A and B are shown apart, each in its own frame.
Chain A
Amino acid sequence: AQSVAQPEDQVNVAEGNPLTVKCTYSVSGNPYLFWYVQYPNRGLQFLLKYITGDNLVKGSYGFEAEFNKSQTSFHLKKPSALVSDSALYFCAVRDPNSGYSTLTFGKGTMLLVSP
C-alpha cells in the first residue's frame, strides 16, 4: 500500500527567507507525486506534480519541488517566502499501478510566514 509522510506539523519562516516543506513517500514502482495548497475555508489548489523526467519540478506561485528517488522524498521549496504563502500544504502520491486516480495524502503541514 502507498503512503505519504509529512514529518512537520508546522513550519515557521520569515518573509524573504527560503522555505522547505518536507514529504517522503512509499509506493511500489515509480510514483506520481503532487503538492497541493489550501487556504482557510477554501478547496485544495494544485501546485505541481512529478510524473517522470527532470527531478526538479517547477510549479505555480514560484514553488518548486525536488524528486529524490534514493531518499524517497519530494520536498517543496521556494527561494523567498511571502506572508501570503501562509497556508496548509498537502503532499500526495498516486500508485502508478492503480487503474484510478486515487490519491493518498499526507497529514498536511501548516506553513506560517512572518513579516
Chain B
Amino acid sequence: DTEVTQTPKHLVMGMTNKKSLKCEQHMGHRAMYWYKQKAKKPPELMFVYSYEKLSINESVPSRFSPECPNSSLLNLHLHALQPEDSALYLCASSQEWPGMYEQYFGPGTRLTVT
C-alpha cells in the first residue's frame, strides 16, 4: 500500500480564519513533506520532517505552521493567509532507506483564500 491521504480535499477560508490541513501515511515512512503547487507548475517544497522533527523550512512565512504529532501524521496550520496563498497543498512521504528515496504524494488540498 503506497497511499498518502489528505483532508480536506477543498478548503475555502477568509484572511482572518484559522484552519488546518491533515496528512496521514501508514507505510512506516521516515520523512514527510509539505509542498505548495500553483497551476501547471512544479511543486515547491515548504517543510520536511525527518523522524518527526522539522529538518527543513524553506523560508516559509510564519502564517504557515507545520506540526508532526507522530510518525504517521502531519498537519499544516494556517492563519491570516493572503489570497496569493491559494494553491494546491501536497503532502508526501518517503522511506529514506538506501535505494528507497522516492516520494509518495497525497491527492492534495485545494485551498482558496478569499
Contact = CB atoms under 8 A, between A and B. Distances in A.
A105 interface: yes
A36 B42 CA distance: 11
Nearest to A4: B42
Interface stretch (B14-22, B62-70, B77-85, B100-108): B100-108
A45 B105 contact: yes
Q: Looking at chain B's contact residues, is the secondary structure mostly helix, strand, loop, or mixed?
A: strand
Interface in A27-43: 32, 34, 36, 41-43
B32 to A, nearest CB: 10
Given A32-B101, A44-B90, A100 B56 contact: yes
B99 interface: yes
B48 interface: yes
A101 B42 contact: no
A108 B41 contact: yes
A110 interface: yes
Contacts, number: 59
B97 to A, nearest CB: 11
A102 B102 CA distance: 10
Contacts of B94: 101
B99 A46 contact: no
Contact of A88 (B4, B6, B40, B90): B40
Interface of A: 32, 34, 36, 41-46, 49, 51-52, 88, 90, 94, 100-103, 105-108, 110
30 contacts: A32-B101, A34-B102, A41-B88, A42-B107, A42-B108, A43-B6, A43-B107, A44-B90, A44-B105, A46-B2, A51-B99, A52-B99, A88-B40, A90-B42, A94-B101, A100-B48, A100-B50, A101-B94, A101-B101, A101-B103, A102-B45, A102-B48, A102-B56, A103-B45, A105-B42, A105-B43, A106-B42, A108-B40, A108-B41, A108-B42
